[in-house]
């Protein structure tokens, strides 16, 4: 009962006793609301995706820099115990060099009226990919279909390539009979299966891999060796992700530091979504990432 409510967002952006604003609205409203908040001197936490275009992201980033304000994006999965454990393993070198990132995020509905399945579902996995691969994407290709007489794609397949030998693939679908949230991450040392629908063992680490040994005497003959070892499920912290998001937003402001999922990270995700949308209109032709 002590929470103040309003039907006019301007009352929030113009309020002198408000220092920071959280924007969790349809994506096409992110930019005007965030721009107004920044111009009024407010720090901003945006729901994903950050904006509807890279150009809008750039405008907000420039404005925030001019006014020395924080812009953060709610890439919630990066704050989950599972993804934090994965990034920890990558930092320690346990997985080796990352070879691929393959994700499936499908379910039955909910159909969106303003964005397609890529803009609806992909921000989650693209943000995870960004934290895992840590390379600048080169180009994106995407194919998809819109059914039931609409122009909004409800199923899509997206590929992201890099200058280095690593690839990412995303399968997105609003028409699947079951809910699947699975990601495969392949490294030169170990491989991970991340299943977000699992109640307890969300991450399974496999000591499996492939190595190629060249026979010196017979140059043309490559020997493929398969390494098949144990599997284990590491302990995962159970802290609520949104709690960590809120704490990170506040801490980044009070400590005058860059948040884990800052506006630049938000822009990187939007650049993938934008390139994928352009590729859709070009029948899957590769599109360079902004």
Q: What is the pLDDT of residues 183-216, one digit of tens each?
A: 999 999 999 999 999 988 999 999 987 776 666 5
CB atoms within 10 A of CB 6: 9
Give the mean pLDDT of 144-168: 95
pLDDT at 290 over 80: yes
- Of 3-7, 109-113, 216-220, give the lowest mean pLDDT range: 216-220
Query: CA–CA distance from 249 to each of 19, 45, 261 (Å)?
Result: 12, 7, 9
Percent of the chain with pLDDT over 70: 95
Supply the pLDDT for residue 196.
95
pTM for the complete prediction?
A: 0.92
Cβ atoms of residues 73 and 245 within 8 Å:
no
Edge-to-edge strands of the sheet including 175-187? 222-232, 203-214, 191-195, 175-187, 98-108, 167-173, 155-162, 137-145, 287-288
How far apart, in whole angstroms, are the C-alpha atoms of residue 48 and residue 262? 12
What's the mean pLDDT in 140-165?
Answer: 95
* Amino acid 218: pLDDT: 54
pLDDT at 112: 82
Residue 191: φ, ψ to 5°: -130, 150
Average model confidence (pLDDT) across the chain: 93
* Order of strands, sheet of 20-23, starting from the edge strand that comes earlier in the sequence: 20-23, 43-47, 71-74
Counting residues of the chain whose pLDDT is more than 90, the rounded percentage is 86
Q: How far apart are CA 121 and CA 259, in angstroms?
A: 23
Cβ contacts of residue 266 below 8 Å, gap of 6+?
46, 48, 49, 50, 51, 57, 71, 72, 73, 75
Summarize the confidence of residues 82-111 as an average pLDDT. Answer: 94
- Residue 226's pLDDT is 76
pLDDT for position 44: 98
pLDDT for position 200 = 87
pLDDT band at 95 (very low <50, low <70, confident <90, very high): very high
* Per-residue pLDDT at 224 exceeds 80: no
- pLDDT of 233-262, one tens digit each? 999 988 899 999 999 999 999 999 999 999
Q: Name the burial class of residue 92, with classes exposed (0-12), middle (13-18) and buried (19+) by CB atoms within 10 angstroms of its CB.
A: exposed
Residue-level pLDDT at 228: 81
């Amino acid at each position: 009962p002590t929470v103040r409510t309003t039907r006019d967002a301007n009352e929030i952006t113009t309020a002198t006793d408000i220092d920071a604003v959280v924007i969790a609205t349809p994506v096409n409203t992110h930019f005007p609301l965030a721009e107004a908040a920044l111009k009024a001197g407010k720090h901003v936490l945006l729901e994903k995706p950050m904006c509807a275009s890279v150009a809008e992201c750039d405008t907000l980033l420039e404005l925030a820099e001019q006014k020395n304000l924080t812009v953060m994006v709610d890439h919630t999965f990066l704050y989950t115990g599972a993804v934090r454990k994965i990034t920890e393993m990558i930092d320690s070198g346990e997985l080796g060099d990352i070879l691929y990132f393959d994700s499936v995020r499908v379910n039955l509905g909910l159909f969106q009226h303003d964005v397609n399945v890529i803009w609806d579902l992909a921000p989650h996995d693209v943000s995870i990919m960004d934290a895992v691969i840590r390379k600048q994407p080169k180009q994106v290709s995407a194919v998809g279909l819109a059914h039931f007489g609409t122009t909004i794609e409800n199923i899509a397949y997206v590929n992201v390539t890099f200058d280095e030998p690593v690839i990412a693939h995303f399968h997105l679908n609003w028409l699947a009979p079951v809910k699947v949230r699975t990601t495969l991450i392949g490294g030169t040392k170990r491989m991970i299966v991340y299943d977000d629908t699992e109640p307890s063992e969300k991450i399974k680490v496999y000591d499996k891999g492939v190595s190629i040994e060249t026979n010196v005497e017979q140059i043309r003959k490559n020997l493929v060796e398969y390494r098949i070892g144990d599997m284990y499920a590491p302990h995962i912290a159970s802290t609520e992700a949104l709690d960590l998001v809120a704490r990170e937003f506040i801490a980044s402001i009070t400590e005058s530091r860059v948040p884990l999922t800052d506006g630049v990270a938000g822009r990187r995700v939007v650049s993938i979504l934008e390139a994928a949308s352009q590729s859709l209109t070009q029948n899957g032709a590769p599109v360079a990432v902004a």
